[in-house]
């Protein structure tokens, strides 16, 4: 899978995309993540990518022309399944979104910035818009990094035990059950006996019950 990220602050992405599962997936050529500096397609000698909004509102707006030129260049080189824009007013990014997008071959993520982007970009160049919550960040770079992480970890071979990703929270619309490891007792705090019983049918039943209970207590909106 290839992910192209368009940003005005590429340096923000270098850290999150250079470690852990994402880095291993890239090293194993399971995923390819290419970060593009929008300023390379900026206008004039100063490589301008933003301008003041019409109507006199405060803030700066990403211009349509640099984004159009960069996306057109990428699309001339390969077919893309999806072009995403990260925006506070996009639909919520969730596990179902990550599952679906992880099946695609090539995607583009445009990081929002400043006051936003010229709305003609959203009308003519973007397929879907996503948000990670009802709050505003300085830019969409951290959002893009989080989306990449949630996508790449689902790719076959990215995680050593692929079943691990399938048992994560939200995969079945429930939160994951509690987990424990050694020692079985610490400071008087004991691991639930069923997990030590070796009875896998009972263990699975316990996990299902705990998942439902945790979801009911913490995220009843999911039920």
Q: Which two tokens stand for residue 91?
A: 């639909």
Residue 212's pLDDT is what? 94
HSE (side-chain half, CA atoms, 13 Å) at 21: 19
Contact 98, 154 (CB under 8 A): yes
Output Rg (C-alpha) for the chain, integer angstroms. Answer: 21
Q: Which two tokens stand for residue 219?
A: 């995220």
Could you tell me the pLDDT band of residue 165, with boundaries at 50, 70 and 90? Answer: low
Task: Read off the pLDDT of residues 95-152 as tens digits, 9 standing for 90 and up.
Answer: 999 999 999 999 999 999 988 999 999 999 999 999 999 999 999 999 999 999 999 9
CA distances from 81 to 99, 107, 149, 208 (A): 14, 6, 18, 35
Task: Read off the pLDDT of residues 38-88 as tens digits, 9 standing for 90 and up.
Answer: 999 999 999 999 999 999 888 999 999 999 999 999 999 999 999 999 999
Q: Residue 167: is its pLDDT beyond 70?
A: no
DSSP character string of 38-85: GGGG-BTTTTB-EEPPTTS-SS-EE-HHHHHHHHHHHHHHS--SEEEE
In order of their start, the domains of the chain are: 2-152 (3.40.1280.10), 167-222 (1.10.1270.20)
Percentage, residues of the chain above pLDDT 70 = 96
Length of the chain: 223
Query: What span, in angstroms and rounded, lies between the C-alpha atoms of 59 and 68?
Result: 21
- For range 150-168, the mean pLDDT: 80
Nearest CA among 76, 65, 74, 87 for reference residue 32: 74
Query: What span, in angstroms and rounded, lies between the C-alpha atoms of 213 and 223?
Result: 11
Could you tell me the pLDDT band of residue 184, with boundaries at 50, 70 and 90? Answer: very high
HSE (side-chain half, CA atoms, 13 Å) at 155: 25
Contact 25, 155 (CB under 8 A): yes
Element of type H or E holding 148: helix 141-152
Q: Residue 162: is its pLDDT beyond 70?
A: no
Query: What span, in angstroms and rounded, lies between the C-alpha atoms of 6 and 34?
Result: 9
């Amino acid at each position: 899978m290839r992910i192209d990220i368009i940003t005005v602050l590429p340096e923000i992405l270098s850290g999150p995309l250079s470690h852990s599962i994402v880095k291993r997936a890239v090293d194993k050529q399971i995923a390819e993540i290419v970060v593009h500096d929008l300023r390379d397609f900026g206008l004039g000698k100063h490589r301008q990518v933003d301008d003041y909004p019409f109507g006199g509102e405060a803030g700066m707006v990403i211009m349509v022309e640099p984004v159009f030129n960069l996306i057109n260049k990428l699309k001339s080189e390969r077919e893309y399944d999806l072009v995403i824009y990260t925006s506070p007013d996009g639909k919520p990014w969730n596990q179902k979104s990550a599952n679906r997008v992880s099946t695609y071959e090539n995607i583009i993520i445009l990081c929002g910035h400043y006051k936003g982007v010229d709305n003609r970009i959203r009308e003519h160049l973007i397929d879907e818009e996503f948000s990670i919550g009802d709050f505003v960040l300085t830019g969409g770079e951290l959002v893009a990094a989080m989306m990449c992480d949630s996508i790449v970890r689902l790719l076959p071979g990215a995680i050593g035990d692929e079943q691990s990703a399938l048992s994560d929270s939200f995969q079945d619309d429930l939160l994951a059950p509690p987990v424990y490891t050694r020692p079985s007792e610490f400071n008087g705090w004991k691991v639930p006996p069923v997990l030590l019983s070796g009875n896998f049918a009972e263990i699975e039943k316990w996990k299902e019950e705990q998942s439902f209970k945790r979801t009911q207590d913490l995220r009843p909106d999911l039920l």
